[in-house]
Structure 1
Amino acid sequence: MNKTESLTGSFLIAMPSMPDPRFEKSVILLTSYSKEGATGILINKPYEMNINEVFNNMGIEKNENKNDIPVLNGGPVEMDKGFIIHNADLELKGSTEIEGINCAVNTTKESLAVLYEKEAPLEANLYLGYCGWTSGQLDNEIKSNDWLICNSHKDIIFSKKYDLMWEKLINEMGLNLSFLSNKSGLA
């Protein structure tokens, strides 16, 4: 596996000194990473709405949903577009598996309707928008010490403890927030 493939499916964790306020204390699941660029979904910034409200906003009348699927801010790109991250064991037409983790991403309205009708419990989240980087942009941000990288796991992705994710992952890495520096360098 080469370096460009290895980051897909990883978490990006914003450093405490993150210069962009949109990503303060953010956790991003990288859904693709190559020499052409990278994409990811911000997983810990919930909106104050659920899937029922999304359907209402789309003009689709449904009975109250069996599933309280959360709706989260997936990132600043195409914020009117929905992205579903779900357990890969749940087969949805049009899903693309995310390498390195038992999850998949889907953008079809048909899949959203299927999720809406599924019986609970269900491992799925709906995100509006995504994060995107051009060729070399994410690499430069990592070198500038804007992001930490760690292995991802489903427990975090489908946890509803959004306000605790960032600090939990930093602690799992064995890091102490008070010792993290925004200075980067090479040894």
Structure 2
Amino acid sequence: MVSLSSGILLIADPFLKDQHFARTVVLLCEHQESRGSFGFVLNRVFDQALNELVPEVLAGNIRVFYGGPVQIDTIHFIHQQPELIKGGFEISNGVYWGGEFDQVVSLINTGQLDLNKIKFFIGYSGWSSGQLENELNEKSWILSENNVPLIFEENEQTIWQQALKNLGANFAIMANFPIDPLLN
């Protein structure tokens, strides 16, 4: 059984109505019972590219994802390139959170960074102590082991459905539930 810890995926229940989290998958980066939890929504694209938010980035069309509703004036990133990006924290299975942002900008501008192995977020998702446990008890989330290919999936529109399908037949059925069953 999967328990709350760094690196797990929180898959929104198909009927979760919260506007920030409906049909999302969140990568949990840290969980401490006494301090709370934080992570990033993996499948909501933000309406501006990285170079629009950070003028020092010369490359265009680098997507930024809406990490969550907390501190949406901050940029974060996860990656799989610790040999190039110093200062990151491994959250699981070769996936790192953060590092030296100036170094990332330089690596992007010189074409040295594999952009398929890094993902940028504006804001983050956060829960106070006990809040995420309460949401689990309310059946708002389904827990899943980390799935690195899913975390860095190019097509964000398939991430939620694929995360459910990866859990087996019982959950795969949920991937096709309508958003509002009353409209079905």
Report the TM-score when normalising by structure 1. Answer: 0.81
> How is 1:152-171 mapped onto 2 (pairs within 5 angstroms)?
152-171=146-165
Q: What secondary structure, in the 3-state scheme, does the structure 2 residue paired with 1:39 have?
A: strand
Q: Aligned pair count?
A: 169
Match among 13, 17, 34 for residue 15 of structure 1: 13
Question: How far apart are residue 120 of structure 1 and its match?
Answer: 5.2
Once the two structures are TM-superposed, the CA of residue 108 in structure 1 deviates from its matched residue by 4.4
Aligned to 2:133: 139
Give the distance between the partners of 2:20 and 2:148, measured in 1 at CA.
Answer: 24
Q: Partners of 1:27 and 1:125 in 2: how far apart?
A: 14
| Structure 1 stretch displaced more, 167-176 or 107-116 | 107-116
1:24 corresponding residue in structure 2: 22
| 1:22/1:150 CA distance change after superposition, 3 Å | same
Contact map agreement 1:39 1:133 (CA 8 A) in 2: yes
1:114 to 106, 112, 119: 106
Aligned-partner SS, 1:46: coil
- Shift in alpha-carbon separation, 1:74–1:107, aligned structure 2, 3 A: farther
Q: Please say if residues 68 and 123 of structure 2, whose CA atoms lie closer than 8 Å, have aligned partners that are also in contact.
A: yes
Contact 2:165–2:175 at 8 Å: present in 1 too? no
1:22-171 equivalent positions in 2, closer than 5 A: 22-36=20-34, 37-56=36-55, 60=56, 64-65=58-59, 68-98=61-91, 100-106=92-98, 108-117=100-109, 118-119=111-112, 121-122=114-115, 123-171=117-165
Q: CA deviation at 1:160?
A: 1.2
Shift of 1:136: 0.7
Residue identity (%): 27
Worse-superposed segment, 80-89 or 146-155: 80-89
Distance 1:169 1:20 in 2: 19
Q: Which runs of 5+ in 2 are unaligned?
A: 178-184
